[in-house]
Structure 1
Amino acid sequence: MLQLFLSEPIWNDNGDENSAKIRVSLLSQLESTIWLFMASGGRSEARLWLCNTIGRISSLTRHNQCELLLDLLRSKPLKKGFASQLVEMIFENSPHKAGSIISKRRNPTRISKWFSKAGGGLGHEPGAKALSQFSFVNRDTCWEELEWKGKHGQSPAVVATKPHYFLDLDVQATVENFLENVPEFWSSNEFSESLKDGEILFVDRKYFVEYFVDLMYKEDSKDVWKVTSEFLKEECFSSLCKRLLITLDESDLCDFLKMLFKYLNPRMEQKDLMDSSYLFEVILSKCADFRSFDEILLLNAVFNHGRQLLRLLRDEEGHEEQARIKDIVSKICTIPSDDSSLGPIIKDCFKMKNIQACKLLGLQSWVIYYSLSEQCRTHDSWESLFLCNAISFRTSDRYSFLDNQGAYEEGGSDLDRKASKTVKHKKKHSSRRKRKKRDFDHNDSYDNEVLDLQSNVGSWFLSIDEYSASWNIEDLPEYVSKYCLSTWMKWVGFSFTDENLSNDKLDYQLEKVGKPRSSDGRKDAKFKRAYYEREV
């Protein structure tokens, strides 16, 4: 049975070092094989996973997220693709912000399209209203520039009493006259007001996106940067990351991660390492020494996207590589082990760079995820796993009896209720058939449904989370493997909750980094913990 290694190592015992070396070697082989998949087509998927993980970071304040993205926008070389995508977001979500800038800077050639939206006449569009209002106010100087479709023009007095006559205006010809002979219109309050809602941006979107990016970079326009800052503070960080980070090439995304590092503060909220976003913050905070973008991609894949990684490996056509991964995982799982067999590896992590230690633990947790997904598919296999690894469990009340109408009794879970809806749906559907056939089909499907539910629907409350949640077969591989990973990470010290540092472990850590146990001979954990945090 699979060993989960949930017993804390004995810190003064070296354990089976030979088994540890074999395990490390096999994990290294597993890393190389996974990268063969990444290089052959899974790399873009891994980048998308990384962008999604970054977007889930919760410790950034709105002010910090604004500063971070502005730093990226201003960094060299210029990120014009990133900036263009950001401007697109501003146009879509806050067009009035961009419209206020356009209202101060007019391009009459492009803006002429603004007035042709009415399809040949002046309707209720903002541009049409601006033209009519300006013409009435300044009728003594510009009325003769209006072009009409009929045989004769209309006077201001007639149009004042019958405003619908404005619909007979030849818009294109009138705008051309205004462009040439009425320049004051383009700087008028009437025209500026028509632009402020930002609707004009969609007349020639590509042009205005490029125009805004030029204002940002070529003119260093203060009002454009102000609008950009306001938008970055207001928008959800997750939305910004999913939309913007994917536009960056790998070197720029790597630079962004290094910029992000200085804004992270996982101490602000001492969450559990089971939280994926918090775990990623801890990784970045501890692993600022990563040498390549590949290392972060791999870490994120095995730490936070184990299920997607397994699906990717199964979907690829590299049957030879799939067989190799299966073989490596099988060898890792059959290494002779006892409760402390992972101890030498855990202890070796203190000698490694943080990113190497993280990678080792992450790969081992993914081995557990892979094995559980492949091997534990029945209730008996899961319960054997719990017993083998000293995990106490209680069966969840998932086997509620169905009443005569096929509905679950109260107290069932969401999964129970979904199953109940399925039964009701089948019964309702069968009621459309003839009476005898309906009764036969209903009884047959009812019996089969009960058998299916009894064999497939089940869950457990586990002691590892103090029986706080009900876990089913589908979610257990991910949960258990992540629980193992978080446990090992705490042993190694990849956590900002100092209660995870036991007295013996602090002695071991201080010795490994060449620090004395204490400066004045005291052995209490509180002193050593403070010393360790200050010096290491």
Structure 2
Amino acid sequence: MIHLFLSKPNANDKGDSASAEAIIALLHQLGTVVWSIIVSSGAKPEARLWLCKSVSLLTSLSPRDQRDLFRNMLRSESVNVELASQVLQMVFEKRPRLAGSILAKRSHLLEKFFQGNPRRILKWFSNFDAGGGSDHKKGAKALSQFAFINRDICWEELEWKGKHGQSPAMVATKPHYFLDLDVLRTVDNFVEYVPDFWSSSEFAESLKDGEILSLDTKYFVQLFIDLMYKDDSRDVWEAVDDFLMDTSFSSLCNHLLISLQESELLIFLKLLSKSLSLRVENMGLGNSLCWLEIVLSKCKDFASIDQLLLLNMVINQGRQLLRLMQDEECQEEKEKVQDIVLQINNTSSSSSSFAAILEGCLGMRTLDVVKLLGLYSWVNHYVLSKECRTLESWESLFIINGITFRKSGTYPILDHDGIKQEENRSKLDSKSPGAIHLKKKEKRRKKKRRTVGFNDDGSDDDDLFVRDDGQDMQSQTRSWLLSTDGFSAPWTMPDLPEHLAKHCFSLWMKWVFTKQTDVA
């Protein structure tokens, strides 16, 4: 029998303190073994990515707070050029006009960008219209407009591919003649003899949409980094600020945190903790991510991120942790986990010991409380994965633990005693056409059901396709609607251990932290 402890203990029940102390000691041992599995399996970098993913799902920060958070990272004493590079690449990709407008105000800087680089010159200045000539693109449009407006000082610098050049009057009537322009030689002449072009309004206008950034992203990233850190350009920082405020926290984290080293991620989490100041009523205690907001808001300093990596694994990545234990190098630790879990189950068979554990949490540090409850919930995940392998075992678990359930489909909701909460539709008169049709439909359904399978023994399809390990193959796709989430989603057997473990954890966290507030 597996007790999930989904009913809140009586407020006056102090519980079995001796059993509670034994369980707490075992849970500390379990945490040590689990961490050794994460390290020995080489999964720590992956665990760091999972933690970053969990951080990205936080919703407590305002746009202004998230701007300040990432700006402080960019402004930190140990300037993270890689982080700044990632931010700028996001700006170039998602808000190119933001960066383009900055380049337009400094268009003269791009003279060096084109100087002596035929590939860049041809890509930007060769887009002349082959039709009427009125739809030149990018730098070609800037070049043609500037040449006409300033023909007195620069027309002679235009180089043509034919035997003779074209006059302004001729090109004005036939703009497609620009297709005969020797773009490479012309732009080289402008670099050497026409400096006004590079700061002209015509050239600046061609840069505003930010399309030029795609010519050499790496070059422009470095240019903007110099503007940010060497020149401390106010407009560049303001543009970065606007981007950091307008972009979702989730998107920023998913793109930026993966570039951080472990020490830098620790700095980020410390800064994040200073931005969080949650009251219990705003903590979202009903979800499995509440622990992260609580820990970060209450623990303002961390020596390392190892504890957070461990907590995130047991709380949010329980299934992946079970998979890590299948590694051949983790056999010794796997046996230790099995032994510890067995001892915990033998010791915590009653609600009295669990009540004592919750009572003991009231005097613990926040991080220790979360670690204790997180490990305990993962014990449930582990046991459910091992012991509940059939439809019957799951439904028995629901009934024992007071979980109201309904098989996904046409089945009625069952309460924790297994009794139908919803009666069948009112019986039709046996002589009515509707009743006859319904009976025929049921007969066809039963007949069809009996034709499925390899060995027809007249059993229900729930018993078909049993594998060698006793696990029902067909039942893997069977699902239930549960009262644990308000019957909002169907849960299959492979997903149930994780769902119920997270549900347990969320409930326990709510009980402990609301009680801590009441005591305070």
**Pair 1:82 & 2:86 matched:** no
SS of the aligned residue for 2:362 comes to: helix
Task: Please report how far the alpha carbon of residue 2 of structure 1 lies from its aligned counterpart in structure 2 after TM superposition.
Answer: 1.7
2: CA distance between counterparts of 1:360 and 1:169? 75
Whether the aligned pair in 1 keeps the contact of 2:74 and 2:84 (CA below 8 Å) is: yes
Task: Please report how far the alpha carbon of residue 289 of structure 1 lies from its aligned counterpart in structure 2 after TM superposition.
Answer: 5.0
Match of 2:121 in 1: 115
Task: Please report how far the alpha carbon of residue 445 of structure 1 lies from its aligned counterpart in structure 2 after TM superposition.
Answer: 12
CA change 1:205–1:446 in 2 (3 A) is farther
Letter in 2 for 1:192: A
Match of 1:518 in 2: none
Q: 1:291-338 CA deviation, whole Å, 9 max, x = no partner?
A: 421111112222222223333433574333233323322332232521
Match of 1:248 in 2: 260
**Pair 1:484 & 2:504 matched:** yes
**Pair 1:395 & 2:406 matched:** yes
> For residues 82-481 of structure 1, what are the structure 2 equivalents within 5 Å?
82-105=83-106, 106-112=109-115, 113=117, 114-117=120-123, 122=128, 124-267=136-279, 270=282, 272-288=284-300, 290-314=302-326, 317-335=329-347, 337-389=349-401, 391-398=402-409, 447-448=452-453, 451=464, 455-465=475-485, 470-481=490-501
Task: Please report how far the alpha carbon of residue 469 of structure 1 lies from its aligned counterpart in structure 2 after TM superposition.
Answer: 5.2
CA change 1:170–1:289 in 2 (3 A) is closer
How many residues are matched?
A: 457
Letter in 2 for 1:137: I
Task: Please report how far the alpha carbon of residue 354 of structure 1 lies from its aligned counterpart in structure 2 after TM superposition.
Answer: 1.2
**Pair 1:59 & 2:71 matched:** no
When normalised by structure 1's length, the TM-score is: 0.78
SS of the aligned residue for 1:471 comes to: strand
CA change 1:455–1:55 in 2 (3 A) is closer
CA change 1:445–1:116 in 2 (3 A) is farther
Whether the aligned pair in 2 keeps the contact of 1:99 and 1:196 (CA below 8 Å) is: yes
Q: Which range moved further: 5-14 or 170-179?
A: 5-14
Whether the aligned pair in 1 keeps the contact of 2:476 and 2:492 (CA below 8 Å) is: no
**Pair 1:27 & 2:4 matched:** no
Whether the aligned pair in 1 keeps the contact of 2:125 and 2:139 (CA below 8 Å) is: no
SS of the aligned residue for 2:491 comes to: strand
Letter in 2 for 1:245: L
1: CA distance between counterparts of 2:38 and 2:289? 23
Q: 1:344-400 CA deviation, whole Å, 9 max, x = no partner?
A: 2222222221111111111111111111122212121112223333x1424335367
Task: Please report how far the alpha carbon of residue 173 of structure 1 lies from its aligned counterpart in structure 2 after TM superposition.
Answer: 1.1
CA change 1:249–1:331 in 2 (3 A) is same
CA change 1:271–1:348 in 2 (3 A) is closer
CA change 1:354–1:268 in 2 (3 A) is closer
Match of 1:431 in 2: none
Task: Please report how far the alpha carbon of residue 21 of structure 1 lies from its aligned counterpart in structure 2 after TM superposition.
Answer: 2.7
Task: Please report how far the alpha carbon of residue 191 of structure 1 lies from its aligned counterpart in structure 2 after TM superposition.
Answer: 0.2
Task: Please report how far the alpha carbon of residue 178 of structure 1 lies from its aligned counterpart in structure 2 after TM superposition.
Answer: 0.6
Whether the aligned pair in 2 keeps the contact of 1:146 and 1:169 (CA below 8 Å) is: yes
CA change 1:347–1:128 in 2 (3 A) is same
Letter in 2 for 1:95: P
Q: Which range moved further: 327-336 or 35-44?
A: 327-336
Q: 1:233-270 CA deviation, whole Å, 9 max, x = no partner?
A: 11121111011011111222112112112322444974
**Can you give the 5+ residue segments of structure 2 that lack an aligned partner in the other structure?**
130-135, 412-447, 455-460, 466-472
CA change 1:374–1:261 in 2 (3 A) is same
1: CA distance between counterparts of 2:35 and 2:148? 71
Whether the aligned pair in 2 keeps the contact of 1:394 and 1:461 (CA below 8 Å) is: yes
2: CA distance between counterparts of 1:462 and 1:122? 65
Match of 1:414 in 2: none
Q: Which range moved further: 83-92 or 469-478?
A: 469-478
Letter in 2 for 1:75: S
Letter in 1 for 2:407: S
Whether the aligned pair in 1 keeps the contact of 2:478 and 2:492 (CA below 8 Å) is: yes
Task: Please report how far the alpha carbon of residue 343 of structure 1 lies from its aligned counterpart in structure 2 after TM superposition.
Answer: 2.3
2: CA distance between counterparts of 1:468 and 1:236? 27
Match of 2:434 in 1: none
2: CA distance between counterparts of 1:260 and 1:55? 12
CA change 1:254–1:115 in 2 (3 A) is same
Whether the aligned pair in 1 keeps the contact of 2:63 and 2:246 (CA below 8 Å) is: yes
Kindly report the root-mean-square deviation, in angstroms, between the aligned alpha carbons of the 2 structures: 2.7
SS of the aligned residue for 1:276 comes to: coil
2: CA distance between counterparts of 1:47 and 1:171? 51
2: CA distance between counterparts of 1:276 and 1:163? 66
Q: 1:474-515 CA deviation, whole Å, 9 max, x = no partner?
A: 33212211221122212321xxxxxx44xxxxxxx6xxxxxx
Task: Please report how far the alpha carbon of residue 455 of structure 1 lies from its aligned counterpart in structure 2 after TM superposition.
Answer: 4.0
Q: Which range moved further: 267-276 or 248-257?
A: 267-276
Whether the aligned pair in 2 keeps the contact of 1:8 and 1:340 (CA below 8 Å) is: no
2: CA distance between counterparts of 1:78 and 1:33? 37
Whether the aligned pair in 2 keeps the contact of 1:66 and 1:233 (CA below 8 Å) is: yes
Whether the aligned pair in 1 keeps the contact of 2:38 and 2:44 (CA below 8 Å) is: yes
1: CA distance between counterparts of 2:217 and 2:403? 61
Letter in 1 for 2:45: S
Q: 1:153-190 CA deviation, whole Å, 9 max, x = no partner?
A: 11111111221111111111111111111010011000
When normalised by structure 2's length, the TM-score is: 0.81
Q: 1:431-467 CA deviation, whole Å, 9 max, x = no partner?
A: xxxxxxxxxxxx9997239656974444444455565
Identity %: 51
**Can you give the 5+ residue segments of structure 1 that lack an aligned partner in the other structure?**
401-442, 494-499, 502-508, 510-527
CA change 1:255–1:157 in 2 (3 A) is same
Whether the aligned pair in 1 keeps the contact of 2:124 and 2:139 (CA below 8 Å) is: no
SS of the aligned residue for 1:352 comes to: coil
Match of 2:469 in 1: none
CA change 1:80–1:18 in 2 (3 A) is same
2: CA distance between counterparts of 1:323 and 1:281? 33
2: CA distance between counterparts of 1:316 and 1:61? 46
